[in-house]
Amino acid sequence: MNSSNYRGLWVTFEGGDGVGKSTQAEYARQYLRSIGRDVIRTREPGGTELGVQIRQLILHGKGDIDPHAEALLFAADRAQHVRAYVKPNLAAGVDVIQDRYLDSSVAYQGAGRDLDPEEVRHLSVWATEGALPELTILLDLDPAIAAARVGGRGAADRIEAEPNEFRKRLRAEFLLQADRDPDRFVIIDARLTEVEVAARVRAAITKRLLSR
């Protein structure tokens, strides 16, 4: 599905932990609101009732989770989220600003773990019947800087506790995905100040709206 068939605009934010996705997603929501659009913010994992439970299982469950099981749990969350929440809102003309989507699975479960990134992608494509956002903002940051930011607030969950090598693979995989799909992705250097990043996000969103 090409999400531009819907009236609502679907924008996702991607990147490693500590790059400022939530802050920028909130600025983007405020911007769309300020130009008179209906907009909601959501996130994966966790955008639905089922998703909240899956989020708890994956991020705060006890004991190790097999990488295949982890990939399936993220995909299950995504399937529910897209059908029960994202698509109905887009169809009703509401813009959806979302923290993380399938690119996170390809990077974290694919490149980050031992699974094949393409297989992980296929799993999510199956789960969502190929639903893709119109715009994906990749906030790109050196993992050492991001780790220092996250470190400041302490590793919040099982995945944030992964070592630096993992973060380097993540960054490379996100950049590779952006490279492969330049129509959907806009890469923004997350070393810029919050205000500068927000201005670039606004510019990317405006451009997308004008090109519809």
Binding site for ligand TYD (CB under 6 A): 17, 43-45, 59, 74, 99-100, 104-105, 108-109, 156-157, 159-160
Helices (H), the chain: 21-34, 49-60, 67-81, 87-91, 102-105, 117-128, 143-153, 164-180, 194-210
Taking alpha carbons only, the member of 134, 136, 131 closest to residue 100 is 136
- List the structure tokens of 132: 């893709």
Considering the complex, state which of residue 43 and residue 208 has its C-beta at the smaller distance from ligand TYD: 43
Considering the complex, state which of residue 36 and residue 152 has its C-beta at the smaller distance from ligand TYD: 152
In sequence order, what are the beta bridge partners of 159?
A: none
Considering the complex, state which of residue 44 and residue 140 has its C-beta at the smaller distance from ligand TYD: 44
State in angstroms the smallest separation of the CB of 102 from ligand TYD: 7
State in angstroms the smallest separation of the CB of 74 from ligand TYD: 4
State in angstroms the smallest separation of the CB of 208 from ligand TYD: 22
Q: At what angle do helices 117-128 and 67-81 cross, to 10 degrees?
A: 30
Considering the complex, state which of residue 180 and residue 212 has its C-beta at the smaller distance from ligand TYD: 180
